[in-house]
Chain A
């Protein structure tokens, strides 16, 4: 199985690569469009600021390629947010795969949300064998609102989308690669989709 981590210059890719290695899979980093379009599974990571990351995607032309992919794609953290319509972070226009807007947490709570929180209302094969209210590690200041594409929710002041799915596209706000054995289970499930 060819697993590609889309490498467009944004994000801590090493941890994701190691997480797959612990599952016995060599995930390859690549920004090559041929490699990406012929992969079996794709990981779309992202850490940092939305506008800068989106700019890098546009420069590489990947913003046009990713929405046309047919194989399972998993966006992680900022990766998931860039698959949404827009982000309040730097007024960024996203790829619009998920028809939902990304907003900033209100300052009633500490921002960023940093640490372990639970995921609930799980409804996808991505969560097979993962129990309701399992803990996942999250670090983020912006969130996708609850919507019809929502397959898991988390509550931080308000309930928001911890994961999204549309056809072959999946997105998770948490970091499965840093979320212990339950996180590893989700990555394993993704490989089986």
Chain B
């Protein structure tokens, strides 16, 4: 049976992890390669690296990091952040990334999704959507969730699927950072209306939240950062509890 995926997300700036990572027994918790290997060994199903460098130099460093991760890590990983052309994607895939995640660039130029899925296959095109519920309406946001757009989450998700996205990474900005659970209602609606996998993101605080994202939110994968980085939730322990709740996981 296809299992539900648990995905730690690492924010990377100039080739280093940022936003406090506090792993015990790690010599260098700022080294994404060391962390990635650790997560793979601890049972993570996939990894996401989000490049938040704003400079050209930072982007170059990112490519070097991707190459090192691909050399040493034997599970799939996605790279996102600042990708706006087929050339960007070629460079990342040639460095060993399995998938890329695009966000703002897809909103600004939706044809990019078609171009990437035609050229590289939809299996490696993840479209990340940051949305916020305002007056009952889920509105898509740009630029790391800071700039609202006129786009409705469900319409945009449908369009993204039609244009060839292989997967959607949905972050609820209402939930992100709250540790109060995922946006399960919106997730369930996305999952019911689309035929591609949905990754839940934003709001993970405890094991029950993951259980709910799969059982209520019907998500195919759940992504989180700090609860894993700070050891608040151990991946294997999480998976054991998911399994006890009849959620198929890789153990």
Chain A residues with CB under 8 A of B167: 114
Binds A, one of B15-23, B107-115, B121-129: B121-129
Q: B2 within 8 Å of A by Cβ? A: yes
| A114 B98 Cβ-Cβ under 8 A | no
Chain A residues with CB under 8 A of B2: 113, 115-117, 156
Which chain A residues in 1-28 approach chain B with CB under 8 Å?
A: 12, 14-15, 18-19, 21-22
| B3 A15 Cβ-Cβ under 8 A | no
A-B contact count (CB 8 A): 93
| B166 A114 Cβ-Cβ under 8 A | yes
In-complex Cβ contact of B3 among A49, A115, A179 (8 A): A115
Question: How many Å lie between the Cα of A139 and that of B122 in the bound state?
Answer: 10
Question: How many Å lie between the Cα of A112 and that of B5 in the bound state?
Answer: 15
| B166 A112 Cβ-Cβ under 8 A | yes
| A49 B121 Cβ-Cβ under 8 A | yes
| 0/1 string, B107-150, CB within 8 A of A gives 1 | 00000000000111111100000000000000000000000000
| A180 B96 Cβ-Cβ under 8 A | no
| B70 A14 Cβ-Cβ under 8 A | yes
| A116 B45 Cβ-Cβ under 8 A | yes
Instruction: Please name the residue on chain B nearest to A118 by beta carbon.
Output: B1
Chain B residues with CB under 8 A of A135: 3, 250
Instruction: Please name the residue on chain B nearest to A21 by beta carbon.
Output: B71
Q: Size range of the interface on A?
A: 35 or more
Question: How many Å lie between the Cα of A15 and that of B167 in the bound state?
Answer: 21
| A18 B3 Cβ-Cβ under 8 A | no
Question: How many Å lie between the Cα of A83 and that of B174 in the bound state?
Answer: 48
In-complex Cβ contact of A114 among B1, B194, B197 (8 A): B197
Which chain A residues in 143-193 approach chain B with CB under 8 Å?
A: 155-156, 175, 177-181, 183-184
| B123 A112 Cβ-Cβ under 8 A | yes
| B76 A137 Cβ-Cβ under 8 A | yes
Question: How many Å lie between the Cα of A11 and that of B142 in the bound state?
Answer: 31
| A19 B220 Cβ-Cβ under 8 A | no
Question: How many Å lie between the Cα of A158 and that of B58 in the bound state?
Answer: 46
Q: B106 within 8 Å of A by Cβ? A: no
Contact flag A18-B120 (CB < 8 Å), given A107-B195, A110-B195, A113-B2: no
Instruction: Please name the residue on chain A nearest to B3 by beta carbon.
Output: A116
Chain A residues with CB under 8 A of B35: none
In-complex Cβ contact of A47 among B70, B123, B194 (8 A): B123
Question: How many Å lie between the Cα of A48 and that of B125 in the bound state?
Answer: 11
Question: How many Å lie between the Cα of A107 and that of B21 in the bound state?
Answer: 40
In the assembled complex, how far is the CB of residue A175 from the closest CB belonging to chain B, in whole angstroms? Answer: 8
Chain B residues with CB under 8 A of A107: 195
Chain A residues with CB under 8 A of B40: 180
In the assembled complex, how far is the CB of residue B153 from the closest CB belonging to chain A, in whole angstroms? Answer: 18
Q: A140 within 8 Å of B by Cβ? A: yes
Question: How many Å lie between the Cα of A114 and that of B219 in the bound state?
Answer: 12
| B74 A177 Cβ-Cβ under 8 A | yes
Question: How many Å lie between the Cα of A111 and that of B221 in the bound state?
Answer: 15
Instruction: Please name the residue on chain A nearest to B126 by beta carbon.
Output: A114
| B121 A47 Cβ-Cβ under 8 A | yes
Instruction: Please name the residue on chain B nearest to A116 by beta carbon.
Output: B250
| A178 B94 Cβ-Cβ under 8 A | no
| B45 A22 Cβ-Cβ under 8 A | no
Chain B residues with CB under 8 A of A184: 74
Which chain A residues in 68-121 approach chain B with CB under 8 Å?
A: 107, 110-118
| A178 B75 Cβ-Cβ under 8 A | yes
Q: B95 within 8 Å of A by Cβ? A: yes
**Given A19-B74, A183-B74, 13 further pairs, Cβ under 8 A:** A12-B96, A21-B71, A48-B120, A111-B195, A113-B2, A115-B2, A115-B4, A141-B122, A141-B123, A178-B76, A178-B98, A179-B75, A181-B74
Question: 26 A-B contacts, Cβ less than 8 Å apart?
Answer: A14-B96, A18-B70, A48-B120, A48-B121, A49-B118, A49-B121, A112-B196, A113-B2, A114-B197, A115-B3, A115-B5, A115-B45, A115-B197, A115-B220, A116-B250, A117-B3, A135-B3, A137-B76, A139-B76, A139-B166, A155-B1, A178-B76, A178-B98, A179-B74, A180-B74, A184-B74
